Amino acid sequence: MGLKKIMLVVPSLTAGGMERVMSVIANNFAARNEVELHLVLLLNDKVAFDLHKNVIVHVPNHGTSNPVLRFFKVLTFLRGHIKHIRPEVLLSFGSMYNSFVMIACIGLQKNMRVFLGDRSNPYRNTYFTLKKGGDERHDGILHFILKRIFYKRAHGILVQTRLSYKIESETLKHQNLIYFPNPIKAVEHKEAVKENIIINVGRFIPSKQQLSLVKMFNEINDKNWKLYFLGDGPEFEKVKLYVKDNNVEGVVFVGNVSNVDDYYRISKIFAFTTRTEGFPNSLGEAMTVPLACISYDCVAGPADLIKDNHNGFLIPQNDTEMFTEKLRLLMNDEALRHKFEQNSLEHMKNYNEKNVLDSLYKSLQA
């Protein structure tokens, strides 16, 4: 028997990986005839994703810049909607907000199952450290403490990688961990003429390390190949300036575009130089094209998608010498690229959007 009322809670639906996944879940569940799907946003930001006509969206109007007052208004807003809607299942995403969602649910969980998912680096708020940045990233002592108090009270915890599963098993010791990788929508197959293009897709922020990729591409110095960057961000101008000042040839800055799939189709290699991830959506999408992929074995996600030398190259974190060597090999070996492409297609069936979401729906019923 299907679920009748589901509430999804997320800070916002601005452009981002976690937000995209929540929009995909909302659209899939809302299309099921038996489900009344409520999507509750905790911030009054612009919605960046198209939603199914059956998705009932609830947006707050806090009208205050005071963080303490805003917190209590959000808490009241959410708790009031839970009482009114009375969902059978509540699914919340966001490491900064999940504990507060659990606070809003106090006394209301008798006929409601609550599931939480962080959808970020698995070390976030897991091991407290005074270090800033790196794998052991955290949102402060408050979130670290609240996670230990409230996550154990959830009916289930969603984890998106094998590493996340291991870490949460050791630290939270929750009895109901649910493996829920990001559903990857396959890039639609269309005939396109492939060119000697290495493509990188993502925001220009320090952790994505686009500048490092430029330097490796320049070291290889193969005039028959081009390096395409799709995306924008605070590091964009810095990388462009380096290319200009050092006369690096063959680098193309496409910027933010809506037709990313068209660029995937004309490329031959996807290069992923990120040092930290929740789950690498762009890498997964590239593998469905399929493209021959090379990635750092960063925390976390690439190791779930790539088996080294079977369906791509998985390079030890920040080993630029090996990355450069393997990238050069991919550029020069068409047969190897073809092998990686075919093996990637087979592996990515495990991340098919319909299969992943059907599995999640069944887990929420349990």
Domain positions in the chain: 5-180, 197-350
Q: Do domains 5-180 and 197-350 have the same CATH topology?
A: yes
pLDDT number for residue 61: 84
Residue whose C-alpha is closest to residue 294's, from 279, 309, 277, 281? 309
Q: Hey, which CATH number is domain 197-350, 3.30.2130.10, 3.30.390.50, 3.50.50.60, 3.40.50.2000?
A: 3.40.50.2000
pLDDT number for residue 129: 52
Residues in the chain predicted with pLDDT less than 50, given as ranges, are: 130-136
Beta-carbon contacts of 153 under 8 Å, excluding residues fewer than 6 positions away, are: 102, 109, 114
Name the strands in the sheet holding 269-272, side by side, starting at the edge strand that comes first in the sequence: 251-255, 226-230, 197-201, 269-272, 292-296, 313-315
pLDDT number for residue 197: 99
3-state DSSP assignment of residue 177: strand
Per CATH, the number for 5-180 is 3.40.50.2000
pLDDT number for residue 1: 59
If you ran DSSP here, which 8-state letter would residue 157 be given?
E
pLDDT number for residue 139: 67
Separation CA 149–CA 206 (nearest Å)? 33
Q: What is the pTM of this model?
A: 0.87
pLDDT tens per residue, range 69-87 = 888 999 999 999 999 999 9
Give one DSSP letter per residue of 339-359, joined into a string: HHHHHHHHHGGGGBHHHHHHH
pLDDT number for residue 128: 57
